[in-house]
């Protein structure tokens, strides 16, 4: 089966999909099948994700693997994909960002990086334009969440209780696991050093890198747990 590659744009930016995790939160579901290869909509999630990228004109796709890496390779070698699909195999687990140091990039365009367990209808061309227009060096897609506490919040000042807020709402932004970063960020990384993405972000904050938030209003599901996976299976359409 040939993936649909029709697109109004042909974007040269590299995409890196981080797919090396073990997916332990999904329990026995990932003992045989790696999390990004879990099937819904009659095909593995990673297949669906790559189709989406290709349809948007992004055809330089790198997939970082560790856990059950042969499962991925065996699947995709039997599918004709009109895209530059490159597998980067970690000899040892390098965290959610360490494998970026092993990229062999052909151009200096900003690089899209995303976790493999994300389902979204984000227009990646808009993300690239936003990154370039803001002259950002590292753009992080963030999403708003509101949490309603089950308990009343006690307010204290000078060791005295001053008020009680019944079941207060807390609004915050969280990291959605989608990024776009300039080539120099990767060039400054140590080869094969294990590092998590949050640690890479903090390191660049300390280095005065220009890091910009992209407010994600589009549909977004991280199916890292069974509840969200079931939610995705019931309503997978973008």
Burial of 27: CB neighbours in 10 Å, binned 0-12, 13-18, 19+: exposed
Listed ranges 11-25, 77-91, 156-170; the one with the highest mean pLDDT: 156-170
pLDDT at residue 8 is higher than 60:
no
pLDDT attached to residue 21: 80
Mean pLDDT score, 39-63: 91
Backbone angles phi, psi at 89, to 5 degrees: -95, 120
Region 228-233: mean pLDDT is: 73
pLDDT in tens, 118-156: 999 999 999 999 999 999 999 999 999 998 888 999 999
Q: Is the pLDDT of residue 209 over 80?
A: yes
- Which DSSP state fits 152? P
> 210 near 233, Cβ under 8 Å?
no
Other beta carbons within 10 Å of 183: 16
Residues 24-29: contacts with CB under 8 Å, at least 24 apart: 25/224, 25/225, 25/226, 26/224, 26/225, 26/226, 26/229, 27/226, 29/226, 29/229
For range 24-53, the mean pLDDT: 82
């Amino acid at each position: 089966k040939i993936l649909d590659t029709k697109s109004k744009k042909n974007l040269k930016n590299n995409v890196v999909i981080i797919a090396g995790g073990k997916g332990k939160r999904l329990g026995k579901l990932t003992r045989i099948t790696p999390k990004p290869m879990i099937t819904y909509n009659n095909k593995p999630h990673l297949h669906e994700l790559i189709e989406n990228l290709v349809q948007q004109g992004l055809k330089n796709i790198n997939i970082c693997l560790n856990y059950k890496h042969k499962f991925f390779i065996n699947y995709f070698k039997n599918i004709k994909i009109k895209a530059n699909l490159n597998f980067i195999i970690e000899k040892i687990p390098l965290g959610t960002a360490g494998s970026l140091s092993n990229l062999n990039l052909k151009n200096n365009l900003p690089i899209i990086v995303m976790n493999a367990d994300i389902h979204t209808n984000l227009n990646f061309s808009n993300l690239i334009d936003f990154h370039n227009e803001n002259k950002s060096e590292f753009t992080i897609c963030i999403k708003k969440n509101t949490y309603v506490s089950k308990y009343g919040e006690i307010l204290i000042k000078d060791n005295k209780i001053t008020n009680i807020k019944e079941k207060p709402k807390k609004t915050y932004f969280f990291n959605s696991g989608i990024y776009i970063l300039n080539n120099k960020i990767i060039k400054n990384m140590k080869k094969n050093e294990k590092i998590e993405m949050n640690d890479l972000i903090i390191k660049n904050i300390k280095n005065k890198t220009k890091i910009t938030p992209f407010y994600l209003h589009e549909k977004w599901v991280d199916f890292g747990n069974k509840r969200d996976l079931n939610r995705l299976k019931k309503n997978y359409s973008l």
